[in-house]
Amino acid sequence: MLNILLTLAVIILFYTVALFLGGIVERVRALKGEELDYTKNNQTHGKLFLIYGIFFLLMFAFSFKYMDFASLPKAASNWGVEIDELFVITAWITGIIFVITHIALFYFVWKYRGEKDKKATFFAHSSTLELVWTSIPALAMAVLVVMGLKTWFNVFPNKKTLPANQLTIEATGKQFNWMLRYPGPDGVFGKRVLSKEFVSPDNELGIDWTDPASHDDFFASELYMVKGRPVRFNLGALDVLHSFYLPHFRMKMDCVPGVPTGIGFTPTMTDDETRELLKSNSHWASIDPETNEPRYVKFNYELACAELCGKSHYGMMMPAHVVSQSKFEEWTKTQKPFFEVNKDKIQAWLAARNLSTSTSKGGNDHAAFNGEDTTKKDIKPDSNYTKVESATHNIADNKAMEGKQ
């Protein structure tokens, strides 16, 4: 308490002194009869503003160098690389305008600081000038729009063609973690039914256990993708909005309860390749005091939530990896299907409802999951959950989906 009072006293003293000093300066100006004469102030502040301007531009340039460590490594996805190029082009265009206009601003203020017997030039209008600086930005904008939309339609093509050997992963956000579902060796997700019968604390996604396709689906605690193999995320959320954000891949898409969304890309850099790049980054090359190793050794990609989702929004971190196809297959072998792990529980649940599981489809679907051409098969990546209660609802969803592919 005493500390608070003391601090308050110091602060009040500070402002009193400031008021007092400011008052004296004004009093002196008034005594000299210069209270509305800004000639001296013009001199002082014309120069001071120019000095500030030089300092400002230098600091701005310096911050690029200083903040260099903070930039992310080279984008690890095909679209990421394209987006970064677009970013850099925009940065150059805006950077040039920024520097030119600021130099003009600081220079004009210094150059035309008011003097007693100087006169301002009456210059109210010039059609030529105005035409010039309407059309130049318009042209620059046209270039940016065209380039931007090209990339945009690459990421979200209007016509949906399923890439061959696409890996589809279902990511569902909930407070406060991600549920990542892989379709398992059959390459098909088990159906989901969003009804009170199916959804329960043990089965938040409402997976239909009578669907044999659900039996090999597994949940992963870390995200694994394959280098060079297109990956598509079917996104959803259980409770509130979340946003599926992979900073290293420059990818992001909101997860919306009731509205299926999705995003796809092709990873281009494995974990190891990015680690290699980070060796030249001052932060990542430095020694981590906890492990006594350079930081890049422990580097991995991360999945984050980018839409405020409640009090632990910041806690939705999940490690992500890009590996070779063979390593991916090794990893999938270590993953146990949810159905297997919880077999007793699920069987009891089924028995209580007089339901049974149909026989499994068998091994020939294995191919789909391991990266072979699956385009001939009837896989609908986004329609892997159905809603029982309203038919119209499904139509609306399908429409929404067509746009989103």
Partner 1 sequence: MATIAHGDHGHHEESFLEKYIFSQDHKMIARQFLFTGIFWSLVGAAMSVLFRLQLGWPNETFPFLETLLGKWAEGGRISNEFYYSLVTMHGTILVFFVLTAGLSGTFANLLIPYQIGARDMASPFMNMLSYWFFLLAGLLMLFSLFLQTGAASGGWTMYPPLSGIRDAKVNAGSMWGTDLWFFSMSMFIVSSLLGGLNYIATILNLRTKGMTMWRLPLPVWALLFTAILGVLAFPPLLSAALLLEFDRIFDTSFYLSDIVVGGNLLDYKGGSPILYQHLFWFLGHPEVYIIILPAFGITSEVLSVNSRKPVFGYKAMVYAIGIIVLLGFLVWAHHMYMSGMNPFLGSIFTLFTLLIAVPSAVKVFNWLTTIWKGNLRLTPAMMFALGFVSLFISGGLTGLFLGNSAIDIPLHDTYFVVAHFHIVMGVAAFFAMFAGVYHWFPKMFGRYINDTLGYVHFYATIISAYAIFIPMHFMLSLPRRYYVFSNYQTFNIFEDVSKFISVFAIISFMAQILFVVNIVYSALKGRKFTSENLNPWGSNTLEWTTPAEHLHGNWPGEIPEVYRWPYDYSTGHGDTDFRPQTEPLQEGEEAH
Footprint on residues 255-274 left by partner 1 (CB under 8 A): 255-259, 261
Which CB sits closer to partner 1, 139 or 351? 139
Q: Are 319 and 223 in contact (CB under 8 A)?
A: yes
Asked if residue 34 binds partner 1 (CB under 8 A), the reply is no
Q: Does 277 bind partner 1 (CB under 8 A)?
A: no
92 near partner 1, rule: CB under 8 A: no
Tell me whether the omega of the peptide bond preceding residue 176 falls within 30 degrees of 0, making it cis: yes
CA gap 156, 259 in Å, rounded: 17
351: contact with partner 1 by CB under 8 A: no
**The only residue of 54, 308, 355, 395 in contact with partner 1, by rule CB under 8 A:** 308
Please write down the long-range contacts of 66-72, taking CB distance under 8 Å and 24 or more positions apart: 68/282, 69/281, 69/282, 69/283, 70/283, 72/247, 72/248
Indicate whether 293 belongs to the interface with partner 1 (CB under 8 A). no
When asked if residue 241 is in the footprint of partner 1 (CB under 8 A), the reply is yes
Q: Is 207 helix (H, G, I), strand (E, B) or coil?
A: strand
369 touching partner 1, by CB under 8 A: no
Does 297 engage in binding with partner 1 (CB under 8 A)? no
**Token duo for residue 3:** 């500390």
CA–CA gap between residue 3 and residue 230 (Å, rounded): 60
Q: Which of 95, 85, 107, 93 is nearest to 60 (CA)?
A: 95
Site for partner 1 contains 166 (CB under 8 A): no
Tell me the C-alpha distance between 310 and 240, whole Å: 8
Name the segment binding partner 1 (CB under 8 A); options: 162-170, 326-334, 359-367, 389-397: 389-397
393 contributes a contact to partner 1 by CB under 8 A: yes
Binds partner 1 (CB under 8 A): choice among 32, 54, 276, 315: 315
- Of 158 and 354, nearer to partner 1 (C-beta) is 158
Site string for partner 1, 69-88 (x = CB under 8 A): xxxx------xx-xx--xx-
Residue with tokens 């209660």: 389
For residue 297, count other CB atoms closer than 10 A to its CB.
12
Single-letter amino acid code for the residue at 332: T
**Min separation Cβ 329 and partner 1, Å:** 27
- Rule CB under 8 A: say whether 67 interacts with partner 1: yes
Q: Which of 314, 361, 373, 398 binds partner 1 (CB under 8 A)?
A: 314
Secondary structure of residue 217 in the 3-state scheme: coil
